[in-house]
Amino acid sequence: MAKAALDATEIKVLVILTAVAILWVALVIPFISSNPEFLSLNPIFQYFVLNLGIILLSVITIGTVLTVALEHEYSIKAGFINGVTAFLSFSFVIDMWESPYAYDVSGHQAITGAGVTSSVDYMWGYIWTSIFPGVRDTTILFVLVYAVVPILAVLFAALVLSKGRFLKWLNIGGVSAEGMKNDK
């Protein structure tokens, strides 16, 4: 049976997350976004630190709505997982394809300036070139960043948000689509 409302602990956690997110966006981001020391850090760290407030707001809003819609009740853990998954999916797909692009079709860095090194596409270029140094300044880097990452993000979201139903639909693990009909 579905819970009718959030309990007091869940409300406290959501209020605290909201306060941290607002303070982070209002006080921390303006300070660090132009700080040379911050801009010299690892792009992965920059991306998550710069987006922490937005990630928390996604947990509060999208995570809550998705959790109630998918599970017909709310839990902090499920809300957090659904919110982070939704944020990363939107970021790795929609934000990735929104201009300006960090890399051109030849795999060269296309833009420079403050904030570029904390962008999602720059972060993924950094990750791919760290794993495969030979793709730097090639079209392969462009394809990895702007095609492979969004596809992987959609698959990741489908896996997490479907709680295994996606794997069953793909018939991975020996479960057929017929066996899924009875699984709600």
DSSP H or E segment with residue 55: helix 52-60
Give 121-161 pLDDT, tens digit per residue: 999 999 999 999 999 999 999 999 999 999 999 988 888 88
Q: What gap in Å lies between CA 98 and CA 108, rounded to an integer?
A: 17
Residue among 111, 94, 92, 95 nearest 103 (CA): 111
Residue 67: count other Cβ atoms within 10 Å of its Cβ: 22
**Surface-to-core class of residue 71, CB atoms within 10 Å of its CB (0-12 exposed, 13-18 middle, 19+ buried):** middle
Predicted confidence band of residue 96 (pLDDT cuts 50, 70, 90): confident
The mean predicted confidence, pLDDT, of the chain is 86
pLDDT band at 179 (very low <50, low <70, confident <90, very high): low
CA angle 135/140/143 to nearest 5° reads 135
pLDDT digits (tens, 9 = 90+) for 34-62: 888 888 889 999 999 999 999 999 989 99
Q: Using one digit for the tens of pLDDT, what is the confidence trace for 8-28?
A: 888 898 999 999 999 999 999
Number of H helices, E strands in the chain: 13, 0
pLDDT at 114: 65
Whole-prediction pTM: 0.79
Strand partners, 103: 109
pLDDT, position 24: 93
Domain extents in the chain:
8-180
- The three-class DSSP label of residue 109 is strand
Q: Residue 46: what pLDDT?
A: 92
Residue closest to 25 by CA, chosen among 60, 50, 46, 2: 50
Taking the CA atoms of 52, 152, 92 and 57 in sequence, report the sign of the dihedral they define.
negative
Give the Cα separation of 180 and 176 in Å (integer). Answer: 7
Q: How many residues does the chain have?
A: 184
